[in-house]
Amino acid sequence: MNGFSFPTVETAPVAARETLAAVNKNFGFVPNLLSGLANSPVALHTYLGLAEQFGKTSLSPAEQQAVSISTSTENRCDYCVAAHSVLAGKSLSPSQISALRSGTPTGNSRLDAVATFTRAVVNQRGFISEDQLAAFFGAGFNRAQVLEVLVGISQKTLSNYANHLLGTPLDAAFESARWQPAEDRAA
């Protein structure tokens, strides 16, 4: 065991309690990711601040979920893939969610372009070729959206890595969308 806890609203550090109470009120529960991040109120507030800013981008809700799922699959975060698969149900079809989870075409050229671009940025650590940028722009995206994708990748990388370090257990609310990387399924 790594020694990290998943505090409740009542047991979290004082600086995180009000935030966790608001999350509980909004969602009806405190997701284990946010509970784990509450071990450091700075980490919790940074993550939520990135989430808020990513929500303000010009990317559509479906495109934002494509960034989140694609980043999380590339970073092998079973928690975030499951959570965003559930959350994406508001803006994506089940077949599109399944395609994003497996890294295959969704049938929507813009979703495919943002997912492909996101995976490339994550895997290549931001060293994107002119051809990759041209393909992203060719799908109707602009330079501001390149940077907005980075905001989403930053948010998800923080949560993906935190989940790896914390050993975050999957919440019951996300259990129906449990995921594991293909290479783990093959083993």
Distance CA(133)–CA(37), nearest Å, equals: 34
pLDDT of 66 strictly over 60? yes
pLDDT digits (tens, 9 = 90+) for 82-125: 999 999 999 999 999 999 999 999 999 999 999 999 999 999 99
pLDDT digits (tens, 9 = 90+) for 34-61: 999 999 999 999 999 999 999 999 999 9
Give the mean pLDDT of the chain.
Answer: 96
Count Cβ atoms within 10 A of the Cβ of residue 25 and give its class: 0-12 exposed, 13-18 middle, 19 or more buried: exposed
What average pLDDT score do residues 148-154 get? 99
Distance CA(164)–CA(36), nearest Å, equals: 11
Share of the chain above pLDDT 70, in %: 97
Domains, the chain, ranges and CATH? 58-182 (1.20.1290.10)
